[in-house]
Structure 1
Amino acid sequence: MKIAIHKEGDSFTTRWIDYCQKAGIPYKVVDCYASDIMNDLKDCDALMWHHSHMRPKDVLFARQLLYSLELAGKVVFPDFKTTWHFDDKVGQKYLFEACDIPSARSFVFYNKKEALKWLDSTSLPKVFKLRGGSGSSNVELIKTRAEGRSIINKVFGSGISNYQAWSNLKERYRKYRTGKGTFSNVLRGVARLGYITKAADVKGREKGYAYFQEFIPGNDSDIRVIVIDNKAFAIKRMVRENDFRASGGGDILYRKEDIPLSAVELAFKANDVLKCQCIAFDIVFKDHQPVIIEISYGFRAPAYDSCPGFWNKNLDWTEGSMNPYAWMVDLVVDKVSQTNNRRVVAND
């Protein structure tokens, strides 16, 4: 048994490798960008790749490679059920509705006339989102019909870039002003005013659809619950000052007492349906009940290193340090063992 790990993945990668080394799990580092990657994977039973929506090459083909390998019988992380909806809020709308998962009500239009007609009759405010983006990027609170018409005209006209330079600069400055960022990071934001990121260039301008989500007032935070292998850990992310967004703000609470158990329970129940290997749920409260805003298989590992423990599916709490990246590797190892055992039985 051997696991292939892509060499340039995001923050899970070094932790996977470290765990494999300590646990004596055979692995090798591979380059998924290489044209002969399939040949390099012949002696491996699995591939693990923390691909990113922010890396241009990953956007082009990461999921297609993983899906192809999964169809061919190799174990992959993330697999199809875990990642097809990654960085796709429109896809998540259909997923939540089809599976009857408690979520914020959302609205999507592929016709400008229909979008404008809806805007004239709906209550405001509403939250406008592009289908991609993380850390509250590409998210805007629409308070007036004029603002809504302007957005709709853009998405059914020239389109909107995935990278919003001014918004990015404002967020960098906010973090600097609140002691969560550096002045050099602000200067990098200034330098980026003149161009878009490579990933945004590859994705192209977002156009031809308008996606809105209901605004749920009264939340001073959201709860991010991550479920891996029937275990869950969570953080509470406070809303930015004079804003409505929590994701990416950097004001995080870690105490077990800060996490409503109802949010953890919803995350477990939702993943019983979704069957993801690893999934992060962004949850807020509507009429005192938890609802999901969006999901993502990936997250920035360092932000969760201070989590004091985790829950199991019975909502029993285990206090102390944990290694969720080891859980991911163990999932893959177990799946390889199950796959190999089935092959042995089939050949007998």
Structure 2
Amino acid sequence: MKIAIHHRSGSFSDRWINYCEEKQIAYTIVDAYDTDIVEKVKDCDAFMWHHHHADYRDTLFAKQLLYSLQMAGKKVFPDFNTGWHFDDKVGQKYMFEAIGAPLVPSFVFYTKRESLEWIEHTSFPKVFKLRGGAGAVNVKLVRTKLEAIKLINRAFGRGFPQFDKWNNLKERWTKFKGGKDTFLAVCKGIGRLFINTEFGKMRSPEKGYVYFQDFIPNNGFDIRVVVVGDKAVALQRNIRENDFRASGSGDLVFPNENIDKDFISLAYKLNKKLGAQSTAFDFIKDLDNNIYLVEISYGFPMLNFLDKASGYWDENLSWNEGKFIPQNWMVDNLIR
């Protein structure tokens, strides 16, 4: 088998390439942005691309290219079942409901009238989300009806920018205060108030819908379970200080073999229904010990994330101690 790999420094491709070199797996590096990319991978059996939600070019055509090559009979990563819902929280709502996943109660409306009628009969707080964004970007806690009305008016008015300059600065400042970022990063955040990112300039404002989820009181953390093929890794992410969000906090704990196996079992069960190659599940447990699924992604941070785990779980829910590289599993599974 010969694998075509789109290389982006700092992405999964770094490890895919290293693994292919180590195991003497035939591969070639290609540029997915080339207009003749389909022709260039014709002599390859597989195509791998760790496409990113914050690159406007990737959001324009990565899925379309991957699924086109899949239709042509090539193995791809991520394939359709793994990636069609990537960075699409609204799409995931319908998918979770369809497969019977324990989704946090979620509500989406496509007209201002229906949205305003709904908030007259619902309770607060609610969590407002845009369909895209990772690390809890574009996620807000809505405490009152008035706050919800303001968000609805904006959603069906000028919309929300794809890059939130003020939230970006706030995130950098919070991490700096917690010792997780540098003052230079804060200065860059200030600069972004005046100079937009390429992504922010090229993408249109998000508008034309509203998406809310119930706020689920919990014990101050979420559980992320990453399933790659027949292996699973789990970690606990504590919420940020004076916040309700765990995603993007950087405060990671690895329960390893001491984790509640219900999370692992549920992740395997859902991944089997999805038929996915790689899925990162974000779970929370309410104060009555009910598990809810918040959202999923095919990818996850590469450095200083799963690397800290001391082992993984197999499908029999047996703990396997030892270091590992999950990106290597992706290559192995694609070959198999």
Common topology (TM > 0.5): yes
Counterpart check, 1:240 vs 2:243 = no
Is residue 223–residue 259 contact of structure 1 (8 Å, CA) maintained in 2?
A: no
Superposition CA RMSD, Å: 1.1
Q: Measure, in 1, the Cα distance between the counterparts of 2:76 and 2:206.
A: 30
Q: Measure, in 1, the Cα distance between the counterparts of 2:8 and 2:66.
A: 15
Counterpart of 1:290? 291
TM-superposed CA distance for 1:195, in Å, is 3.9
TM-superposed CA distance for 1:266, in Å, is 1.1
Is residue 218–residue 284 contact of structure 2 (8 Å, CA) maintained in 1?
A: no
Q: Measure, in 2, the Cα distance between the counterparts of 1:265 and 1:44.
A: 36
- Structure 2 residue runs of 5 or longer lacking an equivalent are none
Is residue 160–residue 207 contact of structure 1 (8 Å, CA) maintained in 2?
A: yes
What one-letter code is carried by the residue in structure 1 that aligns with 2:322?
G
Q: Measure, in 1, the Cα distance between the counterparts of 2:93 and 2:209.
A: 13
Counterpart of 2:58? 58
Counterpart of 2:319? 317
What one-letter code is carried by the residue in structure 2 that aligns with 1:329?
V
Residues 86 and 9 of structure 1: is their aligned pair in 2 closer, same or farther, counting only changes over 3 Å? farther
Counterpart of 2:309? 307
Q: Measure, in 2, the Cα distance between the counterparts of 1:316 and 1:70.
A: 33
Counterpart of 1:344? none
Q: Measure, in 2, the Cα distance between the counterparts of 1:305 and 1:47.
A: 25
Q: Measure, in 2, the Cα distance between the counterparts of 1:260 and 1:331.
A: 27
Residues 143 and 188 of structure 1: is their aligned pair in 2 closer, same or farther, counting only changes over 3 Å? same
Q: Measure, in 1, the Cα distance between the counterparts of 2:72 and 2:39.
A: 13
Deviations 1:92-111 (A, max 9, x none): 00000011111111000001
Is residue 59–residue 199 contact of structure 1 (8 Å, CA) maintained in 2?
A: no
Q: Measure, in 2, the Cα distance between the counterparts of 1:280 and 1:307.
A: 15
Q: Provide the TM-score with structure 2 as the length reference.
A: 0.97
What one-letter code is carried by the residue in structure 2 that aligns with 1:238?
N
Q: Measure, in 1, the Cα distance between the counterparts of 2:324 and 2:180.
A: 26
Counterpart of 1:279? 279
Counterpart of 1:18? 18
Is residue 310–residue 323 contact of structure 2 (8 Å, CA) maintained in 1?
A: yes
Q: Measure, in 1, the Cα distance between the counterparts of 2:276 and 2:9.
A: 19
- Structure 1 residue runs of 5 or longer lacking an equivalent are 335-348
Deviations 1:287-324 (A, max 9, x none): 30221100000111111111110001111000110121
Q: Measure, in 1, the Cα distance between the counterparts of 2:151 and 2:170.
A: 20
What one-letter code is carried by the residue in structure 2 that aligns with 1:137?
V
Q: Measure, in 1, the Cα distance between the counterparts of 2:195 and 2:92.
A: 30
What one-letter code is carried by the residue in structure 1 that aligns with 2:274?
L
Q: Which has the higher helix share?
A: 1
TM-superposed CA distance for 1:259, in Å, is 2.8
What one-letter code is carried by the residue in structure 1 that aligns with 2:150?
S
- Secondary structure (helix, strand or coil) at the match of 1:212 reads strand
Is residue 224–residue 282 contact of structure 1 (8 Å, CA) maintained in 2?
A: yes
Counterpart of 2:125? 125
Counterpart of 1:71? 71
- What is the correspondence of 1:1-348 to structure 2 with a 5 Å cutoff? 1-8=1-8, 11-256=11-256, 259-286=259-286, 287-302=288-303, 303-334=305-336
Is residue 227–residue 271 contact of structure 1 (8 Å, CA) maintained in 2?
A: yes
TM-superposed CA distance for 1:9, in Å, is 6.4
- Secondary structure (helix, strand or coil) at the match of 1:305 reads helix
Q: Provide the TM-score with structure 1 as the length reference.
A: 0.94
What one-letter code is carried by the residue in structure 2 that aligns with 1:156?
F
Q: Measure, in 2, the Cα distance between the counterparts of 1:201 and 1:267.
A: 37
Counterpart of 1:337? none
Aligned length: 334
